Structure 1
């Protein structure tokens, strides 16, 4: 299967993942604020097991939904 035959979301998914620092910069907040939002479930995050500590990854479309409330409502309706 080549990239042209893959759905657009799969072809772009590798570049859609952000590290903790990248996500904080993308949202224009301090890294500690981002971690607080993750704890409060204000921002969707994906936990990976780290050797020394918890590592979080973020999907750019999910962060976009947090920034745009109308997009988040549409995403919630799609998941139901």
Structure 2
């Protein structure tokens, strides 16, 4: 697969991941944390704000994978 295509697919996947993850995390927080104290909100958003990095790292690792060199 060409490097440019791989990077384009990776960028589209990361943007989609961030948008869907933010919507899901906010929906869960709205439905479950309505009567919780401030520190529960803080911990939830701290953890959910960092958790999206794991799948994004996997996508970036795939994007930066081994480059196939053209052999003569």
TM-score, with length taken from structure 1: 0.30
Task: Name whichever structure is richer in helix by fraction.
Answer: 2
Q: Which has the higher contact order (CA 8 A, sep 6+)?
A: 2
Query: Which is higher, the Rg of structure 1 or of structure 2?
Result: 2
TM-score, with length taken from structure 2: 0.32
